[in-house]
Structure 1
Amino acid sequence: MLRDRFILGVVLLLTISCFSQTRNPLIAKDLTEQQAWVDSIYDGMTLKEKIGQLFMVDVFSRDPKSVTDAVKTLIKKHHIGGLIFSKGGPVRQAKLTNEYQALSKVPLMVAMDAEWGLAMRLDSTYAFPWNMTLGAIKDDKLVEQVGRQIGLHSKRMGVHINFAPDVDINVNPENPIIGNRSFGEDRDNVTDKSVAFLRGMQGVGVLGSAKHFPGHGDTNQDSHKTLPTIPFSRKRLDSIEMYPYKKVIDAGIASIMVAHLNVPALDNRAGYPTSLSSKVVTGILKDSLGYQGLIFTDALNMKGASNYDEPGEIDLAAFNAGNDILLMSENVAKAIAKIEEAYTKGTITEKRLARSVKKILFAKFKVGLNNYEPIAMQNLYQDLNSPEDEVVYRKAMANALTVLKNNQAILPVKNIEDKKIAYVELGDDSGAPFYIALQKYAKVTKIEGASASDYVTKLTDFNYVIIGFHRSNDNPWKSYKFTAREVGIIEAIAAAKPTVLDVFVRPYALFDLKNTTNLEGVVMSYQNSTIAQDLSAQLIFGAIEAKGKLPVSVGTDFKINTSYETGTLRRLKYGIPEEEGMDSQKLNSIEGLMKEGLTDVMFPGAQVLVARHGKVIYEKAFGYHTYTKKQPVQLDDVYDLASMTKILATLPLLMKRYDEGKLTLEDKLGTLLPVLQGTNKQSITVKEVLSHYGRLKPWIPFYRATFDDSGALSKAYYRTRPEENFDLKVAEDLYLRNDYPDTIVKIIADSDLLSRRVYKYSDLSYFLFKKYLEDSEGDDLNGLTQKYYYRSLGANKMGYKPLDRLAKKDIVPSENDNYWRMQQVQGYVHDMGAAMEDNIGGHAGLFSNANDVAKMMQMYLQNGYYGGKRYFSKETMDAFNTCYYCSNGVRRGVGFDKPQLGTAGPTCGCVSDNSFGHSGFTGTLTWADPKTEIIYVFLSNRTFPTADNRKLISSSLRTRIQEVIENAVIP
Structure 2
Amino acid sequence: MVDIPGPRLDVDTAEYLRVNGIRAVCLFGKNVESQAQLRQLCTELREIMGEEALIAIDHEGGAIVRPTFWPAPPSAMSLGQAGDLQLTEDVSAAAGRQLRSVGINWNFAPVLDVNVNPDNPVIAERSFGASPDLVAQQGAAALRGLKRAGVAGCVKHFPGHGDTHQDSHRALPRVGKSRAELETLELAPFKACLTDAPAVMTAHILYDALDAEHPATLSRPILTGLLRDEWHYGGVIITDSMGMQAIDAHYGRGEAAVLSLSAGADMVMALGRREVQEATLKAVQEALEAGLEVQDKLERLSDLARRFPAKVEQNKQAQEDEKLFGEAWARGLTFVGNPQSVAVGQPLLLVAQAKAQRENVSEASVEAQTLADELAEWYAVKLHAYDDPSALNWAELRAQAEREGRLLLLITAHRHRQTALAGATPDLHLALYNPYTAQDVQSPAVQSFGFRPLARAAVWAWLRGS
Amino acid in the other structure paired with 1:311: R
Helix, strand or coil: the match of 1:111?
strand
Alignment of 1:750-765 (within 5 A): none
SS at 1:328 equivalent: coil
Residue matched to 1:289: 231
Check conservation: 1:117, 1:126, Cα contact below 8 A: no
Name the structure 1 match of 2:362. Answer: none
Shift of residue 105, structure 1, vs aligned partner: 4.7
One-letter amino acid matched to 2:418: K
2:148 match = 203
Report whether the alignment pairs 1:259 with 2:203.
Answer: yes
**Structure 1 residues 105, 184: CA separation in 2 closer, same or farther (over 3 Å shift)?**
closer
Structure 1 pair 540–482 and aligned structure 2 pair: CA distance change class (3 A): farther
Q: 1:362 and 1:534 mapped to 2: Cα distance?
A: 42
Match of 1:95 among 19, 40, 45: 40
Matched, 1:526 2:449: yes
Task: Verify the 8 A CA contact 1:150 1:201 in the aligned structure 2.
Answer: yes
Structure 1: runs of 5+ lacking an equivalent = 1-55, 491-498, 544-971
Q: How does 1:805-820 map to 2 (within 5 A)?
A: none
* 1:306 lines up with 2:248 in the alignment: yes
Distance 2:286 2:400 in 1: 77
Partner of 1:481: 418
Does the 8 Å contact 1:447/1:455 carry over to 2?
no
SS in 2 for 1:431: helix
Deviation at 1:324, TM superposition (A): 0.8
- Equivalent residue number for residue 243 of structure 1: 188
Alpha-carbon deviation of 1:400?
0.9
- AA aligned opposite 1:459: E
Equivalent residue, structure 1, for 2:390: none
Equivalent residues of 1:402, 1:523 under 8 A apart: yes
Counterparts of 1:541 and 1:404, CA distance in 2: 18
Q: Which amino acid aligns with 1:523?
A: V
- The whole-number CA distance in structure 1 between the counterparts of 2:236 and 2:456 is 40
Residue type of the alignment partner of 2:267: I
What's the CA shift for 1:207?
A: 0.3
Cα distance change, pair 447–78 in 1 and its aligned pair in 2 (3 A): closer
Residues 148/105 of structure 1: CA separation in 2 closer, same or farther (3 Å cut): closer
Distance change (3 Å), C-alpha of 1:324 and 1:282 = same
2:458 is aligned, of 535, 549, 558, to 535
Determine helix, strand or coil for the equivalent of 2:111: coil
- Superposed counterparts of 1:668-687, under 5 Å: none
Name the residue aligned to 2:349: 424
Please state whether the residue corresponding to 1:318 is helix, strand or coil. helix
* Partner residue in 1 for 2:361: none
Aligned residue for 1:181? 126
- The one-letter amino acid of 2:145's match is G
Query: Are 2:440 and 1:504 equivalent residues in the alignment?
Result: no
Please report how far the alpha carbon of residue 81 of structure 1 lies from its aligned counterpart in structure 2 after TM superposition: 2.1
Give the aligned length: 437
Between the aligned partners of 2:165 and 2:408, the Cα distance in structure 1 is 30
Alignment gaps of 5+ in structure 2 = 354-367, 385-392
Residue number among 383, 387, 393 corresponding to 2:319 in the alignment: 387
Q: Using the alignment, how far apart are the partners of 2:341 and 2:277 within structure 1?
A: 59
Q: Is 1:228 paired with 2:192?
A: no
Residues 673-822 of structure 1: matches in 2 within 5 Å? none
Measured at CA, do residues 460 and 266 of structure 1 come closer, stay the same or move farther in structure 2, by a change above 3 Å?
same
Output the CA distance in 1 between the equivalents of 2:453 and 2:87: 20
8 Å CA contact 1:447, 1:458 repeated in 2: no
Deviation (angstroms), 1:435: 2.9
- After superposition, the C-alpha distances for 1:526-549 in whole angstroms (9 at most, x for unaligned) are 333443333334334543xxxxxx
Contact 2:113 2:127 in 1 (8 A): yes
Equivalence for 1:356: 297
| 1:67-216 correspondence to structure 2 within 5 Å | 68-87=10-29, 88-89=32-33, 90-116=35-61, 120-216=65-161
Contact 1:433 1:533 in 2 (8 A): no
Counterpart amino acid of residue 507 in structure 1:
P
**TM-score under structure 1 normalisation?**
0.42
Structure-2 separation of matches of 1:199 and 1:223: 29
SS in 2 for 1:308: coil
Contact 1:61 1:93 in 2 (8 A): no
Change (3 A) 1:104 1:118: farther
Pick closer, same or farther for the CA change 1:105–1:421 going to 2, 3 Å.
Answer: closer
Q: Is 1:400 aligned to residue 319 of structure 2?
A: no
> CA distance change for structure 1 residues 317 and 403 in 2, over 3 Å: closer, same or farther?
same
Amino acid corresponding to residue 199 of structure 2 in structure 1 = S
Letter in 2 for 1:141: Q
Amino acid at match of 1:130: S
Q: Note if contact 1:86-1:112 (Cα within 8 Å) is conserved in structure 2.
A: yes
Call closer, same or farther: CA 1:267–1:488 in 2, change over 3 Å. closer
Match of 2:375 in 1: 435
- Determine helix, strand or coil for the equivalent of 1:57: coil
Aligned 8 A contact 2:415 2:433 in 1: no
> Which residue matches 1:367?
308
Quote the Cα distance in structure 2 between the aligned partners of 1:453 and 1:75: 60
CA contact (8 A) 1:480 1:509 kept: yes
Once the two structures are TM-superposed, the CA of residue 433 in structure 1 deviates from its matched residue by: 6.2
Cα distance in 2 for residues equivalent to 1:121 and 1:412:
33
Q: Please state whether the residue corresponding to 1:312 is helix, strand or coil.
A: helix
Higher relative contact order (CA 8 A, sep 6+): 2
Per the TM alignment, residue 460 of structure 1 is displaced from its structure 2 partner at its CA by 6.3
Distance 1:105 1:506, change over 3 A: closer
Contact 2:159/2:203 (8 A) holds in 1 = yes
- RMSD over aligned CA atoms reads 3.1
Structure whose alpha-carbon radius of gyration is higher: 1
Paired residues of 2:270 and 2:280 also in contact (CA < 8 A): no
